[in-house]
Amino acid sequence: MPVHSRGAHFYNAPISSPLAVFPVSMSVSIQSLTHAPAQLLRRAHQLATAIALEELAEFNLTPIQFGLLIVLNERPGIDAKTLCSTLSLDRASLTGVLDRMEASGLVTREMDPNDRRARVLALTPKGRDVFRQSSRKGVGTQLTILDPLSPKEQASFMKLLAKLVEAQTRRLSRPSSSGS
Distance CA 60, CA 91 (A): 22
Neighbours of 67 (CB within 10 A): 19
At the topology level, CATH places domain 60-144 in: Arc Repressor Mutant, subunit A (1.10.10)
Sheet holding 107-112, edge to edge: 78-79, 115-123, 107-112
Alpha-carbon distance values, 103 to 99, 100, 108 (Å):
6, 5, 9
Q: Is 42 exposed, middle or buried (0-12, 13-18, 19+ CB in 10 A)?
A: exposed
Domain ranges within the chain, ordered by starting residue:
60-144
Q: Which of 46, 66, 58, 63 is nearest to 135 (CA)?
A: 66
Per-residue pLDDT of 15-69, as tens digits, reads: 455 555 455 555 677 777 788 899 999 999 999 999 999 999 999 999 999 999 9
- What is the pTM for the complete model shown? 0.77
Of 136, 139, 155, 142, give the one whose Cα is nearest residue 48: 142
pLDDT tens-digit map of 96-140: 999 999 999 999 999 888 888 888 999 999 999 999 999 999 999
Q: What are phi and psi of 61, to 5 degrees?
A: -115, 145
